[in-house]
Chain A
Amino acid sequence: MAAVLQFSGVNCGKINALTLALQAGEIGVLRLAGKEEKSVAIELAVGERNPEAGAITLDGAPLDASPPGSIGWVPESGGLISNLKAWENVTLPLWYHGKRRVAEAEEQANRWLAALGVESEARSAFMASPAALLSTLERKRAGLLRGLVLAPRLLVVDAALFNGVPQDLKSSWAAALEMLAKEGCSILAVAQESDAALQWKTIG
């Protein structure tokens, strides 16, 4: 089976000869020594930066050629746009890439909010809240929800997302990512040594 994400002998900055393969529906943890290596690896995986040597492909094609919205990104602290509400943030990549209709997005958001352990009565208030007023944990949750609702071909997750998250929430967030993986999405969690330990297999 062809890998969804393939790094072949990638050199870039402090990253040397990195080779990894991630299959459809697979979750892999790429653990690197420091913050700088992690940052470069994330930039490479989301297609923000080209490797100095080697190749990176998504479904066999260069990242540049991948369809819009096929790579999702979950930052450490949500990466929300502060002048938008949580709902607008969650659906921003969907609308921008023209991937889903409103009703479908609402349905998906509800489903994933339930998976993330948000009670149904708290969902409306959470989604209607301006990003600037959300707590650190809520911002992380909104960022994760955005990745889940987008359901991209490849979801790149900063493993620091799980830093400082209570164990019960951490378990439900990890379970939600596993649910997404079961639906065919490949998930690459990029970590540095100091990030929280994750239960998924280490690759690369």
Chain B
Amino acid sequence: MSSFSWKKPPELGPHGPGERLWGGQLRVAWEALCRLPALGRWPVRQVLLKQLYFTGIESVATIGFVGFLVGLIVITELNNLVGGNEGATNKVLIWMVVRELGPLIAAIVMVGRSSSALASELSTMVINGEVTSLRRMGISPLSYLIVPRVLGMTLAAIALAFYCQIVAVGTGWVVTAIGQNVLLSDEISGFFEIISYREIAATLVKSAIFGMLVAVVSGYHGLRNKTAMTEVPQAVSQAVIRSLLAVFVADGVVTVLVY
């Protein structure tokens, strides 16, 4: 059977004795990866664009505001601790903001906005028979509903994390420059002397993993078989909690492996 199989995928049924939650999610991730060529189809690309807009563009203001607050808080605390020290400022910005908080904050905002929305949207589609209808029209729900969302949320997570880092680091520089009488140009040049390509690559990889995990976990809980609307809040709650858990576990693993 081709990779565009539109038979009912067994992994999305209710948990049976041989089916484990994490196994099911891994299978959804694997199926989504195998079905990436589905992006060549116009309706799938439309879903991708909508997802990028919803998860990426519509989160810009929130991420910007949170990034600003993080930069402000972290550097204000640091300045209170060690005074005006451009070297310490940059090290803390790289260790805290670039390596950890940027990708993590982007992922948390994404869980709050997109994970819950995705799980509830897909759950409602399952209950209304829309997913069955897709299957019966020869349209694979995994190709049409999951693949573009996984890719969209992965790309959005990378972009949002990068944006959050820029805002937080920039805020940190400005706060230090104003409050501690340090030259902004010295801070910027010092920052680029310290940061390594490895750190930049690691943070991008981390963001991509977070985005993919949130989409897969939420998509899995959204697409699982349901029969009543009362199951929608349960699916949303599980999607949010398990997405957060997955993000923190992945953060721990990547941090230990890379640093």
Contact = CB atoms under 8 A, between A and B. Distances in A.
Given A48-B7, A95-B42, A95-B43, A81 B130 contact: yes
A71 B135 CA distance: 11
A196 B128 CA distance: 23
B199 interface: no
A82 to B, nearest CB: 7
A82 B130 contact: yes
Contacts of A72: 137
Interface in B126-146: 128-130, 132-139, 144
Nearest to A78: B133
A42 interface: yes
Interface string A78-94: 01111100001000110
A146 B138 CA distance: 13
Given A95-B42, A95-B43, A96-B41, A68 B130 contact: no
A48 B135 contact: yes
A47 B8 CA distance: 10
Interface size class of B (residues with CB under 8 A): 20 to 34
A9 B8 CA distance: 23
A190 B125 CA distance: 24
B163 to A, nearest CB: 27
A92 B129 contact: no
A69 B133 CA distance: 14
Contacts of A112: none
Interface in A41-81: 42, 46-49, 64, 68-69, 71-73, 75, 79-81
B99 to A, nearest CB: 37
B133 A79 contact: yes
Contacts of B121: 83
A49 B139 CA distance: 15
Contacts of A42: 136
A151 to B, nearest CB: 13
A74 to B, nearest CB: 10
A98 interface: yes
A182 interface: no
B1 interface: yes
B4 interface: yes
Given A42-B136, A72-B137, A83-B121, A96 B144 contact: yes
A156 B135 CA distance: 13
A93 B1 contact: no
A97 interface: yes
B41 A95 contact: yes
Interface of A: 42, 46-49, 64, 68-69, 71-73, 75, 79-83, 88, 92-93, 95-98, 146, 156
27 contacts: A42-B136, A48-B136, A49-B8, A68-B4, A71-B138, A75-B136, A79-B129, A79-B133, A79-B136, A81-B125, A81-B134, A82-B125, A82-B128, A88-B43, A92-B43, A92-B139, A93-B138, A93-B139, A95-B41, A95-B43, A96-B41, A96-B43, A96-B44, A96-B137, A96-B138, A96-B139, A156-B136
Q: Which 6 residue pairs are nearest across A and B when measured between Cβ atoms?
A: A79-B133, A73-B136, A46-B136, A93-B137, A95-B42, A95-B43
